[in-house]
Structure 1
Amino acid sequence: MNFSFRTAAPNELAGALQDARDYTLTLFECYAAAGLDLPGKVPILPSINPPLWELGHISWFAEWYILRDAQSSDPTAAQRTSMLTKGDDWFDPNTVSHRARWKIELPSTGALKTYCREVLDRVLDKLTRVKNEHAALYPYRLALAYEDMRGEALASGLQTLDVVLPQQLANHVIPAWAQGEIRFPGGTIQLGSVPDSGFVFDNEKWAHPCYVPAFTMDSTLVSNAQYSEFVADGGYQIPQFWTTAGRAWLMAQDRSAPRDWLREGRHWRCRRFGKEIALPANEPVRHISLYEAQAYCTWAGRRLPTEAEWEFAAMSGHPALRWGDLWEWTCSPFEPYPGFTPDAYREYSAPCFMTHQTVRGASFATRLRIRSPKFRNFYLPERDDAFIGFRTCAL
C-alpha cells in the first residue's frame, strides 16, 4: 500500500483501514502471547497503555469521529451514543487518566475484539457511501493515521517490555549506509503544509516562509559505532557535555550507556525485542533521549539540526540524504506555527507545545502511508523508549 493516507481515495482508505486493524491485532497478540495483554499484567509505565485498553480505545476513536459524527474531542460532541454502554467511561482519554487505565474493569478480550470488528465493519460500510472529497474523508483519514500511530506505539512497547516482535518487523534490517556530509546552500522555504495538500495535521498549519541559512548536515544518522566512542571516552561521566536538565536526567537514571546496551568485556551487546544480540556497529543508535543526543553533539563539536533545516534537507531530494530508519531529534522546541488553531482532535498538539521537542522523519516501524517530510512528531526530552536517534550538523 504505497500511497499517502493524506490523499487516499475511499477504496484506498478501505484497504488501509483493514490493514491497520490487522496489524493492531497482530501486535496485540504479541502482548497476549507474553501474558501482558490485560491491565493487571502490565507494569504502569508513562510511555505505555495497557494493550487491552489500547485495543478498545483505537476502535472507540474511530467510532467517535466516524460513526458518531463528533466534530471535536469535547466529551459532549458526539451526536450518537457509543455501541458500548460504558464506551466513553472506559476509552475517552479526556476523562480517563493514564494511571486510571490500569484500574478500569474492562470487558473481556473476546468482547472487545467483537466491538473492534463491528466498528470497523460499520466504518467500511459507511465509507462506501462517502464522496471523494476532503471534508467527507477527513474523519476516515484521521482514524487511519491515529491507528497507524498507535500501532507504532504498541510496537515500541514490545521493545520496552522485552517482548518478541511480529515477523514483519522482526525481519527488518536497517542497511549500512556510508556517512558523509552534505552542504546545503540555504534559502527561503515554505515551512509547513499548504491547504490543498489533502489531510493536514493541525501542527503543520499553515505553510509560511522561513529563511534557512546555509548549513552542513550528516547524510545519515549517528551510528552505534560512533556513539560507542563517546561512551568509551567517558561521555556519561563528564558533566560538561550535558545540559543542566540533562545532568538531572542522567543522575536520576544512573546510566553509563544507552538503555538496552549491555557490556560484554570490551564489547557491547543490546536487547532487541526479547533477544540479546551483538550491538550492530553500523546501524544508527536508537532509543536515545534528547539529553543524550545533545551531550554527544557537545563532545563531538557538532549540533542538532533545527526543524527548518531538517525539512529543507528532506524536501531537497538530495540523493545522498537518507531518512526513515529512526525518528530524529531536532534542536527546536515543539511550538505552534503562526496562526495555529486546533483541529477536531483538540488534544493532539496544543497540550504539548513548549514542553515537548520537535522530532522529524520516520522509523522502520512507521507505516509507509503516513511518512512525510512535513510530518511533525514530538516527544518529551527524556523519552528514550521510542524508535528515535539523531544526526548532526556542523557548528
Structure 2
Amino acid sequence: MNHQLSDLTAEELRSFVAEQLGRSRGRTVQLTDAVDTDDLVRQHSRLMSPLVWDYAHIGNQEELWLVRDVGGREPVRQDIDELYDAFMHARADRPSLPLLGPTETRDYVVEVRDKVLDVLDHVKFSGGRELVDNAFAFGMIVQHEQQHDETMLATHQLRTGAPVLDAPAPPAGRRLARSEVLVPGGVFEMGTSIEPWALDNERPAHAVHVAPYLIDTAPVSNGDYLKFVTGGGYQDAQWWSEAGWAHVQKASLVAPRFWELVDGNWLRTRFGHRELLPLDEPVMHVCFYEAEAYARWTGKRLPTEEEWEMAARFDPATGRTRRFPWGDESPGPQHANLGQRHLRPAPIGAYPAGASPLGVEQLIGDVWEWTSSDFKPYPGFRAFPYDEYSLVFFGSDYKMLRGGSFGTDEVVARGTFRNWDYPIRRQIFAGFRCARDPRPEELT
C-alpha cells in the first residue's frame, strides 16, 4: 500500500478501497468455504472462536463502523451486536451463544458488504472528519478482516482431519554470509505520523536513542532450536525465567507446539500434513518464554521492540528511517512471505531482496518475532477511534511481536505495525531472532 493515499483523487481512492475490501473478503471466503458446516461451527480449541463466529464478527464490525457510523445508515442486524462483541464473551464461551448459522452468516455479511459499497460510492473523503480522512475507517476495517483471517488460519492449523488448504512452496533458501550484524545505535525515528492507515498504537513518530547492539541476520531456525530441545533445554531451569520455568512445568512443554518425536525422527504437523521437521525454516509456534530461554542458552537475549524496529527500518548510511527494511516500496513477492501465499515460513535466506541496509533478512513475513518489550504506548499516544483497540491492553501482561508472518497480509505488515499477546501463547505463527550487547572490541 502506498502511504501517499492523500495524493490520490477521490475516485482513485474509492477504487483502491474497493480493491482492498474485495481482497480481504476473498480470503475470508476461501478460509470458510474450505471446510464443511460441522467444522465451521465447531470450536477447534478453547483458545479460538468457531470459524463461523469470526466470519459474522467481521461483518458486524463492518456494519458498526462503515454502515452505521460512516454511512449513517439504518442497522442491518442490531440484535446481534452483543453476540459479536469480542469484549462481551470470552472465546471459550462463544460456542454456547445463539450464533448465526453458516447460511445466515453468509447472507448477513453479503448484505452488509452491499451497503458498505454503496456508502463507499457516496462518502466524502474530505471535510476534516478524521474517521474518513484518507479512507481511514475503511482501512481499519480491511485490516480488521485480514487480522481475523490470520486468526482463522491459526484455527485451521488447530483443526484435526484431512488437509483442506493448499499453496505452492516458498522460494528456496540460501546460506547467509553472516549470522549477526552490529547495529551502531544512535537516534532514529520510531513509529509513524504519516502512514494513513496506521493504527493508534503505532503513532506518533518519535525519536528514540538505542545503544549499539548485535542482531541475528535471520530468525532462529528449526535446526538451531532442535539443538536446544535435544540438549535438554526444557529440563534445565537455569535457562528459564521464574515465570517461564513455572509455565514449562505446568504445561509439560518439551518442544514447540506441533512437534513430535516418532521412531527417532522429529515431525511436525502443518495444516493437516504430518512431515519431517524442515531444519532450514524459522522455528514457529513457540511462546515468549521458549524464545527467551533459547536466547539465554545461546548467550544472547531477545531484542527490545526498539532494537527490532531500528534493525528493520533505519539506514545508518543516510540516517533515515524507511517504511520497510528494503526501502519505501510496498511489499512484493520478492521481498517477503506474506498473505498466505505460502502455507509455511520460507527457508532461511529465501528473500535477499527484502534485506535491510545492514543485511538483516526476513524481518517482514514468515514468522512474528517475539521481543523482550511489554506493550506500552508511545509518547503522545492518543486512543483512536476507540479505547478497546489498544488502550485497554497496555501493561506488562502482554509481550510485543513484530514483523508479521506468512499469514499476515501486506495491508497489515507495516514496518511500524505492533502485535501483542500473552507470553504463553503458542498457537500463533510466532518465532524469534536473537540479539546481544557488543563486546568492547566489537565496537572499534
Q: Structure 2: how far apart are the matches of 1:6 and 1:380?
A: 34
Q: Structure 2: how far apart are the matches of 1:356 and 1:175?
A: 34
Q: Structure 1: how far apart are the matches of 2:418 and 2:285?
A: 19
Q: Structure 1: how far apart are the matches of 2:371 and 2:5?
A: 24
Gaps of 5+ in 2: 315-324, 326-355, 438-444
Q: 1:233 is matched by which residue type in structure 2?
A: G
Q: How has the CA–CA distance of structure 1 residues 207 and 359 changed in structure 2, closer, same or farther, with 3 Å as cutoff?
A: same
The answer on 1:12 being equivalent to 2:16 is yes
Instruction: Compute the displacement of 1:177 (Å).
Output: 4.1
Q: How has the CA–CA distance of structure 1 residues 165 and 393 changed in structure 2, closer, same or farther, with 3 Å as cutoff?
A: farther
The answer on 1:94 being equivalent to 2:87 is yes
Report what 2:223 is aligned to: 225
Runs of 4+, deviation exceeding 6 Å:
4-8
Q: How has the CA–CA distance of structure 1 residues 120 and 286 changed in structure 2, closer, same or farther, with 3 Å as cutoff?
A: same
Instruction: Compute the displacement of 1:80 (Å).
Output: 5.7
Q: How is 1:214-363 mapped onto 2 (pairs within 5 angstroms)? A: 214-316=212-314, 317=325, 318-319=356-357, 320-322=359-361, 323=363, 324-354=365-395, 355-363=397-405
Instruction: Compute the displacement of 1:220 (Å).
Output: 0.7
Q: How has the CA–CA distance of structure 1 residues 94 and 394 changed in structure 2, closer, same or farther, with 3 Å as cutoff?
A: closer
**2:209 alignment partner, SS class:** strand
Moved more, 345-354 or 325-334: 345-354
Q: Structure 2: how far apart are the matches of 1:241 and 1:135?
A: 47
Report what 1:108 is aligned to: 101
Report what 1:176 is aligned to: 173
Deviations 1:152-187 (A, max 9, x none): 0000111122463533xx324364243421211111
Partner residue of 2:39 out of 16, 33, 36: 36
**1:90 alignment partner, SS class:** coil
Q: How has the CA–CA distance of structure 1 residues 281 and 6 changed in structure 2, closer, same or farther, with 3 Å as cutoff?
A: farther
Q: Structure 1: how far apart are the matches of 2:289 and 2:171?
A: 24
Q: Structure 1: how far apart are the matches of 2:57 and 2:115?
A: 16
Q: 2:112 is matched by which residue type in structure 1?
A: V
Q: 2:252 is matched by which residue type in structure 1?
A: D
**1:338 alignment partner, SS class:** coil
- The answer (yes or no) to whether the contact 2:44–2:158 under 8 Å persists in 1 is no
Deviations 1:19-76 (A, max 9, x none): 111111111123437x3211xx324512x11111111110100110111107xxxxxx
- The answer (yes or no) to whether the contact 2:375–2:393 under 8 Å persists in 1 is yes
**1:302 alignment partner, SS class:** coil
Instruction: Compute the displacement of 1:122 (Å).
Output: 1.2
Report what 1:161 is aligned to: 159
Q: 1:90 is matched by which residue type in structure 2?
A: L
Identical positions, percent: 32
Instruction: Compute the displacement of 1:129 (Å).
Output: 2.0
What do you get for the CA RMSD once the two structures are aligned?
2.1
- The answer (yes or no) to whether the contact 1:174–1:283 under 8 Å persists in 2 is no
Q: How has the CA–CA distance of structure 1 residues 6 and 153 changed in structure 2, closer, same or farther, with 3 Å as cutoff?
A: farther
Instruction: Compute the displacement of 1:352 (Å).
Output: 1.7
- The answer (yes or no) to whether the contact 2:215–2:434 under 8 Å persists in 1 is yes
Report what 1:73 is aligned to: none
Gaps of 5+ in 1: 71-77
Instruction: Compute the displacement of 1:81 (Å).
Output: 5.1
Q: Structure 2: how far apart are the matches of 1:6 and 1:232?
A: 51
Q: Structure 1: how far apart are the matches of 2:224 and 2:110?
A: 47
Q: How has the CA–CA distance of structure 1 residues 363 and 177 changed in structure 2, closer, same or farther, with 3 Å as cutoff?
A: farther
Report what 1:393 is aligned to: 435
The answer on 1:202 being equivalent to 2:200 is yes
Report what 1:45 is aligned to: 46
Q: Structure 1: how far apart are the matches of 2:242 and 2:4?
A: 41
Number of aligned positions between the proteins: 380
**2:82 alignment partner, SS class:** helix
Partner residue of 1:377 out of 402, 419, 439: 419
When the two structures are superposed, what TM-score results if normalisation uses the length of structure 2? 0.81
Q: Structure 1: how far apart are the matches of 2:406 and 2:298?
A: 26
Q: Structure 2: how far apart are the matches of 1:5 and 1:289?
A: 37
Q: 2:429 is matched by which residue type in structure 1?
A: F
Instruction: Compute the displacement of 1:119 (Å).
Output: 0.8
